[in-house]
Structure 1
Amino acid sequence: MVQIQTNYQSKPVEINVSAEKLIQFLLDVSSCAKCYPFVDVVEKVSDNTFRWTMQERKVGSIQMKATHVTKYTRNANTITWENMPGGNMSSVGKFIISSVNANKSTLTVDSIVETDIEIPKLLVGFAKTMGQREMAQSWDAYVLSIKKTVESGKVTKVAPVEDVVVKDQKFEKVRLQENLRTENYNTMVSDYYDIVTETYQSGWGNHFHFAPFKTSTESLETAVTRLEHEVADSARITKDSFVLDVGCGVGGPTLEICKYTGCRIRGLNINKKQVGIATERARQMGLSDRAGFDHGDAMKMPYADNTFDVVTFFESTCHMPDKQVFLKECFRVLKPGGRLSGSEWLQCEKPSEKDIIQFIEPICAHHSVPHMGSLNSYRSMMEKSGFYVHIAMDLTQSGDILRNWEILDNKTINTFKALPKGSVDPTIEMMISGAIALSEGARFGAFVLGRFLASKDLPRAKL
């Protein structure tokens, strides 16, 4: 259970009635409440104290049913309300009424609402943003409804004005969610990995990425290790190389490449918990002298220009809202002639609105991905950043990628089944839904895996 706080402060609204008439209407809480959007029932529980029960509504992806008990007090031309025990929402605030003349007044509102919502931690950022928008729209409508009602003497309910006017509401909802994920990416991604890391490790191991399978019996461990070796080999990583692995997770690929090539390597991660796990794993594997891990944002790397021989990534740039900025950072920290090598989640080229709504958005929503790029968009962004692109390929050309989700689905579902009877684990449920979204997207061709190799300054002939 988390608490979401939202705030509202209106500009003065001019109303064509006297200040006293407006005050009396506002003190008639049962009548005034009829002006509020989405209210279900308002009941008087004692003198000047009322229980508000709101309609059950879905705000973004969050189902909400809110109640609060509020006591009203008049002090001159100000009406305050305070929260009383008895609900899952707290509402405090004040109406400030100013007299303009005998037949005209102004109304200003200041309110704070706190709501307890049972949601996973990673959705807190979304809930705050959506709640703030919801409150502003609802209260704007409430104030306008009060004005029209008190002026006309008849209840006139005003519907909230959405800030997005759309032709295709489902598609625009997707765009809105993308914007929210982009705005909250830093906290969202870190919170996501705080929640899923232990389950990922128990069900997936320490290598949080997918790979093409060469045979129907090949293990996931063999497939992902082979891809890591291919990424390292194509980038010509040797014992003399200084490598940066971006979005390193708990250090699976980072430490494998270090062990495989003998290179010096740094892992960069936005999640502090994973940095700690990776650092401890390096110590246990006897690799601390060559492998280290840093906490930081890959779009603002904490490294000097021309530091690394190679930058690698394994399905981490999908979490970055501005992939162009990330690629420019890669170009900056690479030495002249340095290589960029990795694999990534991609959407198909020019997905239809149906593809985005049915396949891409569920993947993004379940995995804290602001949005995905395509094979060609990555190539274009790399070139725009100054890279020469040597490889930009769909990994379905290298093997069967669908087996990833058959294996992962089974592991995740088995973990879920092993939970005590009667327990509900929203994390596991979220991960199962996420795995299904990836599997369906891949089967319909809307979601693909890509592999890239690019170099700083050097043309193909000199690579």
Structure 2
Amino acid sequence: MIESTLPATPTEVAGHYDQLDRFYREIWGDHVHHGLWITGKESSDQATRNLMDAVVTRARLKAGMHLCDVGCGYGQTSRIIAREQQVKVTGLTISPAQLRYAQQATEPGLPVEFLLRDWQHNNLPDASFDAVIAVESTEHMQDKARVFSEAARVLKPGGRLVVCAWLAAEQPTPWEDRHLLEPICREGRMPSLGTATDLVRWMTAAGLSVESSDDVSLQVMRTWPICAWRFIRGVITRPSYLRFLLDPKHDNRIFGLTMLRLWLAYRTGAMRYVIFQASKSGAQAGADEIRYPL
């Protein structure tokens, strides 16, 4: 596991997203997660939708179920799932800016509730959800074992967990650790980056049966050159971007460099992206096997 050399408390993570609120929405969009290119011909919007669909498929949602979206961001994934799958959704974020936007963007009558709450201390009732999803949010949490024990606690018997995770390679080189992975953790306000093996171990220890672990790194890596280009274009065409970067009071302005590190980390294989599917009960399948693309 790669650990940041600086602390990343929930307060600091929330501050990161609040300070970069405008940039995240303009560069990443309301979903704030990677795209998944299946054919390679998709637009960035289609690729973003592909990733959400991959999560929905693995969660096996049915009308009337109750879903928890851990680290819901601006709530776009929660809204689409509630609307299309006809399930009730509870979304959690630690960013006040994200919470305000999520609540304002949700149409009346949609069965979606957004809470300003740290997942590691969520106070949600035991066995209250049919499914839990965490799309690129577990990286920001310090106690990884607790992350998954909380998922097991709030899931109903037979409930499903789907996690899309940024990960470190199993054996990164010292150069990759020093110049890519640790700075990505530090600059992105992530306490640590686990490996795929780490996450399987934490889920299994929490009593979850890991059914699949699909490495889709090659299919998501196109996200970063797209984001980097959008950022560079913003710096050139929007004076507010440059003012933000030059203002020393913005301690998250380094994120422009972080995007380039992420791009390189995927290109070198130091960074991995894996979609995990697990359940609270049932026969375990493939818990010790990580499937990598050819």
Is TM-score (shorter-chain normalized) higher than 0.5? Answer: yes
Contact kept? 1:229, 1:257, Cα under 8 Å: no
The structure-2 alpha-carbon separation of the partners of 1:366 and 1:421, relative to structure 1 and needing over 3 Å to count, comes to: closer
* Structure 1 position 429, deviation (Å): 4.9
State the partner residue of 1:436.
260
- The alignment of Structure 1 onto Structure 2 pairs a total of residues equal to 279
* Structure 1 position 301, deviation (Å): 1.2
C-alpha distance in 2, partners of 1:429/1:248? 23
State the partner residue of 1:405.
224
C-alpha distance in 1, partners of 2:232/2:14? 24
Q: Deviations for 1:43-89, whole angstroms, at most 9, x for unmatched residues?
A: xxxxxxxxxxxxxxxxxxxxxxxxxxxxxxxxxxxxxxxxxxxxxxx
**Residue 205 (structure 2) aligned to one of 370, 376, 384:** 384
State the partner residue of 1:196.
20
Contact kept? 1:412, 1:431, Cα under 8 Å: no
**Residue 335 (structure 1) aligned to one of 156, 161, 171:** 156
TM-score, structure 2 normalization: 0.89
The structure-2 alpha-carbon separation of the partners of 1:422 and 1:327, relative to structure 1 and needing over 3 Å to count, comes to: closer
Contact kept? 2:5, 2:186, Cα under 8 Å: no
Counterpart AA for 2:69: D
C-alpha distance in 1, partners of 2:265/2:52? 24
C-alpha distance in 2, partners of 1:254/1:372? 25
Counterpart AA for 1:408: C
C-alpha distance in 2, partners of 1:192/1:363? 13
TM-score, structure 1 normalization: 0.58
State the partner residue of 1:360.
181
Counterpart AA for 2:153: R
* Structure 1 position 342, deviation (Å): 2.4
The structure-2 alpha-carbon separation of the partners of 1:422 and 1:294, relative to structure 1 and needing over 3 Å to count, comes to: closer
Contact kept? 1:254, 1:267, Cα under 8 Å: yes
Say if 2:220 is the partner of 1:416.
no
* Structure 1 position 422, deviation (Å): 10
Identity %: 29
The structure-2 alpha-carbon separation of the partners of 1:386 and 1:460, relative to structure 1 and needing over 3 Å to count, comes to: closer
The structure with the greater share of residues assigned to strand is: 1
* Structure 1 position 403, deviation (Å): 1.2
Which stretch of structure 1 is more off in the superposition, 325-334 or 345-354?
Answer: 345-354
Say if 2:250 is the partner of 1:250.
no
In structure 1, the gaps of 5 or more residues are 1-173
C-alpha distance in 1, partners of 2:147/2:56? 20
* Structure 1 position 232, deviation (Å): 1.1
State the partner residue of 1:302.
123
* Structure 1 position 351, deviation (Å): 2.3
C-alpha distance in 2, partners of 1:383/1:262? 30
Counterpart AA for 1:373: G
C-alpha distance in 2, partners of 1:422/1:339? 41
C-alpha distance in 2, partners of 1:403/1:186? 29
Contact kept? 2:158, 2:280, Cα under 8 Å: yes
In structure 2, the gaps of 5 or more residues are 286-294
Contact kept? 1:243, 1:309, Cα under 8 Å: yes
C-alpha distance in 2, partners of 1:430/1:324? 29
The structure-2 alpha-carbon separation of the partners of 1:367 and 1:389, relative to structure 1 and needing over 3 Å to count, comes to: same
C-alpha distance in 2, partners of 1:341/1:421? 37
C-alpha distance in 2, partners of 1:458/1:380? 17
* Structure 1 position 179, deviation (Å): 5.4
C-alpha distance in 1, partners of 2:75/2:21? 12
**Residue 319 (structure 1) aligned to one of 116, 140, 147:** 140
**Residue 220 (structure 1) aligned to one of 44, 56, 61:** 44
Contact kept? 1:347, 1:360, Cα under 8 Å: yes
C-alpha distance in 2, partners of 1:343/1:423? 32
The structure-2 alpha-carbon separation of the partners of 1:422 and 1:236, relative to structure 1 and needing over 3 Å to count, comes to: closer
Counterpart AA for 2:232: I
Which stretch of structure 1 is more off in the superposition, 417-426 or 208-217?
Answer: 417-426
State the partner residue of 2:196.
375
Q: Deviations for 1:346-395, whole angstroms, at most 9, x for unmatched residues?
A: 01013233221021012112211111011111011000000000011211
